[in-house]
Chain A
Amino acid sequence: MTWHVSPELVASYRDSASSDAASHSLELHLVECEPCRRIAAGAVESDRRDRIWAGISETVDMPKARWLEEALRRFGVNAHIARLIAMTPSVQPSWLLAVATILALAAVAASSLGPIPFLVVAPLVPVVGVAIAFGHPIDPVHEIGVASPTGGFRLVLIRASAVLMASIAISVLPGLFLREFRWMVVWLLPALVCTLLVLVISTFTHLSTAAVVVSLLWVAGVTATELAASTPVASFVGPAQLIFAGAVLGLLALLLWRRTSFERIAGR
């Protein structure tokens, strides 16, 4: 016959009323018997258990130490903004890895196909990233986000900047496969233009639609320029960069003008 503890024994143990022999038996037994431990658990009030846990949870609750958050904090970004950015869905490793792979392929192909594939794809990375990062219907927390003090334009800016920087960061390594240094930088302004454009267009229509529109416009634009121009890669060099710079300023102004539309959600 195996001996197990009874609730009465546990109660008398808790009240220090049990004999030493019984107490020792109980203690030794509980080390090995899970069901009896459960009986013992019942003798401690749940408030007390919760209270003790509250003290432990501060250490444990620290949501997964995200290295990105630490890195951002070291750059002087406020701790909570760093969390917001680090928790943005499209700044997650899995997505970044997928993108990095695509870019790497495009870059490697550059040796035979020229830099165009890479230069066309790279600016679209933040566009897709922004679409994934927020905006109804892809961001499920959209409505709560807009109803918060941070919500609206500020949140959009924080996340869009984060996505842009993440995209640039992961494009650096694949960029190293390109032959010339200038290919690594000429797409930066176009990336900014495309990102701003998708944000501006999102004030008129769904973010996903905006992303598609911008992607098509960009690809069509580059194709047309390349076909029409006499020098190769004309869409990225020389005067093209000035045009992009101008577009950035114009789009920024437009975005600021349209910013209140981020303060509301689109009606049904």
Chain B
Amino acid sequence: MLIADRSGEALRELYERHVGWLVLRLMRRCSDREVVDEVVQDTFMGVWRNAAGFRGEGPVAAWIWGIGIRRLVERFRRRPVPTRGWDSSGAQSSAEEMVLLGVEHGDLAAAMDGLSPELRAVLRATVLDGLTTREAAVLLGIPQGTVKSRMRRARRELREALA
């Protein structure tokens, strides 16, 4: 990858391509702008330092998200942030959106919509965001045990829904 040769310009290019979605996606999980801006900075510094460690498994954006969400989790762990949490107006998904979700991402993503918000949150953190149960616990501000039990319930409900 370009960055491995320590080219500041390559980092800048990568930054321009990815900062937008990263900011938006993190803002949905923490509405404190300053915290998010800091985390984004940390993320790209992490990208800069660990560029050599990316071996091309999967899309670059997924790798960047992995770094970013973990920085956010770290941040929550170090200092409580009152504005954490999935920010949502609670809008209902339209039927069309459900179909699209199913088409693009398979039944799991669509079925998730049928779950209660807490179960959805846990699945989002572990499945979509790729966190471990321990990290998910920090992100959601709940005990790890609760994460595990909610995941069990979610899986059960999904199995029933998909059956």
Contact = CB atoms under 8 A, between A and B. Distances in A.
B7 to A, nearest CB: 9
Contacts, number: 126
A23 to B, nearest CB: 7
A28 B100 CA distance: 12
B24 A10 contact: yes
Nearest to A32: B59
Interface residues of A, number: 41
Given A20-B113, A20-B120, A23-B88, A13 B28 contact: yes
Contacts of A49: 16, 19-20, 23
B64 to A, nearest CB: 9
Given A10-B24, A52-B19, A28 B104 contact: yes
A48 B23 contact: yes
A20 B110 CA distance: 10
Nearest to B94: A19
Contacts of A179: none
Task: State the majority secondary structure of interface residues on B.
Answer: helix
Nearest to A29: B104
A66 interface: no
A25 B113 CA distance: 11
Contact of B88 (A14, A16, A55): A16
A180 B98 CA distance: 87
B74 interface: no
B17 A31 contact: no
A25 B97 CA distance: 9
A60 B8 contact: yes
B21 A41 contact: yes
A258 interface: no
B12 interface: yes
B37 to A, nearest CB: 5
A158 interface: no
B2 to A, nearest CB: 13
Contacts of A43: 20, 24
A17 interface: yes
A22 interface: yes
Interface string A21-41: 111110111111010011011
B124 interface: yes
A71 B27 CA distance: 45
B24 A40 contact: yes
Contacts of B27: 14
Nearest to B37: A52
A95 interface: no
Given A52-B41, A60-B8, A31 B62 contact: yes
Contacts of B94: 19
Interface in B34-62: 37-38, 40-41, 44-45, 48, 59, 61-62
Contacts of B18: 37
Interface in A50-77: 51-53, 55-57, 59-61, 64
A18 interface: yes
B15 A28 contact: no
A37 B88 contact: no
B103 interface: yes
Given A24-B105, A24-B128, A59 B48 contact: yes
A254 B83 CA distance: 72
A54 to B, nearest CB: 9
A3 interface: yes
B4 interface: no
Nearest to A59: B45
28 contacts: A13-B24, A16-B28, A16-B87, A19-B93, A19-B113, A20-B93, A20-B112, A20-B120, A21-B100, A21-B113, A23-B28, A28-B109, A30-B21, A37-B18, A37-B61, A41-B21, A43-B20, A44-B20, A49-B23, A52-B37, A53-B12, A55-B41, A56-B11, A56-B44, A56-B48, A59-B45, A60-B8, A60-B12
